[in-house]
Amino acid sequence: MNTQEDLLIEIGCEEIPASYILPALEDMKAAFEKFCADNSIGHGALETCATPRRLTLIARGVLARQQDSVLEVKGPPARAARDKNGAWTKAATGFAESRGASLKDLQIRDTGKGEYLFIVKKQKGRPTAKLLPDLLQAVVSGIHFPKSMRWGAHKMRFARPVRWIVFLFGDKAVTARIDSVTSGRYSMGHHFTHNKKVRIPSVADYFRLMEENHVLADHNARRTRIADAVRAAAQGRPLISDELLNDILFLVEYPHVGVGAFDEQFLKLPREALLLCIEKTQRYFPVENETGDLLPRFCVVMNMPLEDSAAVISGYQKVLHSRLKDALFFYLNDMKEPLEERVTRLDRIVFQKELGTLLDKTNRLRALCERLCGHLGLNAGDCAAADRAALFHRL
């Protein structure tokens, strides 16, 4: 009877750039599937998950033995395989010996291009456990990164130095060596709060033990926890974009949310400028009220619970204050001069010697827009919008 076991591979390393992680998980999954297909190892569903410090693959229902197979090898033409008495020739016996087959494994088949000698041999599947070291090598080498590195005197290349590998087949640890790292059943807890070895007895214990040691290993569970915590803490309606959530997702292992505030004077800034500073630059979650107006507060995701979170949030506030102060200064300074007055300064910049200045180019574009609007039969409002776009396009 071919039994089944769950299989776990966790590659533990220093922090991987967030943008590398999801493609790496796809590579990991593809390499596992290819190895199993090439080696006739049956398996069930595959799960992949990651944190900044670990890439994990779990395969459900991996068969304990390879599936039995039939080896078919084409040999010499049939006319060279038997003598005039019907006995196997030296060419036939030599072909069988070279492939480790016996004479009973030989068959003559019509290929459509003539009759040929074939070896047809049933092969019993090997225990999967004997193939697992090769499987680990295939999975690790099958992960590709935009940029990789070597460390120390080692030849292995990876996004960041690999520090440990957990490799379990059911409740048994698989020992395999990848460069300087030997796999086993020991993972690591959170880098700051539980920086110690964590023994994993079996695949079934993995997620529970990781969370007990402040690592929420499943990134989908981390995504849900972050979104729920931000909504609960926001005291308003947080703007949770998928882009920002995906960025933060692979920056933390054990997310905790704090709330910060900024001076209401910065609400004078256009909404787009505020969102750029809060969301894009600082990776904080902006908060708005029920009518869609931004509030002077934000939510920030931290990588662990803190006893003195107020001091940390104060640091986040100071960084954002500096950015918003600069943005407000430039915005108010720009508002002192109408855009139309700025256009006149374009006559100081040469576009091309024979074609005049940027102001000349702007005027030509406005004239072209006027002709096109007339040709297309646009209404007065659309024509005015096109003219204004042409007028300001070089500012």
Least confident among 48-62, 103-117, 293-307: 103-117
* Burial track 170-197 (b if 16+ CB lie within 10 A, e otherwise): beebbebebeebebbbebbbbbeebeee
Cβ distance 286 to 230 under 8 Å?
no
Cα-Cα-Cα-Cα dihedral sign, residues 226, 227, 232, 238? positive
The residue with tokens 């599936």 is 67
Q: Would 35 be classed as within a structural domain?
A: yes
49 — pLDDT class (breaks 50, 70, 90): very high
Same domain, 320 and 285: yes
Phi, psi of 317 (to 5 degrees): -65, -40
Q: Which pLDDT score is estimated for 71?
A: 74
* Residues 225 and 354 occupy one common structural domain: no
**Whole domain around residue 368: which residue ranges?**
341-392
Q: Which of 27-31, 109-113, 145-149, 194-198 has the lowest mean pLDDT?
A: 109-113
Band of pLDDT at residue 283, cut at 50, 70 and 90: very high
Distance CA 89, CA 280 (A): 77
Q: Give the tens place of pLDDT for each residue, 333-382.
A: 988 988 888 898 999 999 988 899 999 999 999 999 999 999 999 999 99
User: In terms of domains, do 230 and 322 share one?
Assistant: yes
101 in a domain, yes or no? no
Give pLDDT, residue 50.
Answer: 98
For residue 275, the SS3 value is helix
Residue 69 has pLDDT above 80, yes or no: no
Same-domain check for residues 21 and 143:
yes
Residue 36 CA from chain centroid, whole number: 22
In a domain, residue 112? The reply is: no
Same domain for 232 and 269, yes or no, is: yes
Both 43 and 178 in a single domain? yes
One domain, residues 330 and 346: no
Mean pLDDT score, 260-282: 96
Same domain, 326 and 345: no
Asked if residue 113 is part of any domain, the answer here is no
Q: How many folded domains does the chain comprise? A: 3
Q: Grade residue 134 by pLDDT with cuts at 50, 70 and 90.
A: very high
Residue 309 lies in a domain: yes
Instruction: Note whether residue 122 is domain-resident.
Output: no
Check: CB of residue 110 under 8 Å from CB of residue 44.
Answer: no
3-state secondary structure of 153: coil
The per-residue pLDDT for range 384-394, each reduced to its tens digit, is 999 999 999 98
SS3 187: strand
In a domain, 100, yes or no: no
Q: What is the pTM of this model?
A: 0.80
Same domain flag for 8 and 136: yes
State whether 228 and 314 are in the same domain: yes
Structure tokens at 330: 């430039």
CATH number for 36? 3.30.70.260
Instruction: Reply yes or no on whether the pLDDT at 81 is more than 90.
Output: no
In a domain, 91, yes or no: no
Confidence of residue 211 (pLDDT cuts 50, 70, 90): very high
Angle between helix 242-249 and 18-38 (nearest 10): 70
State whether 302 and 361 are in the same domain.
no
DSSP state of 125: P
Cα–Cα distance measured from residue 183 to residue 181, given in angstroms and rounded to the nearest whole number? 6
**Predicted pLDDT at 168:** 98
Residue carrying the six token digits 């690591």? 188
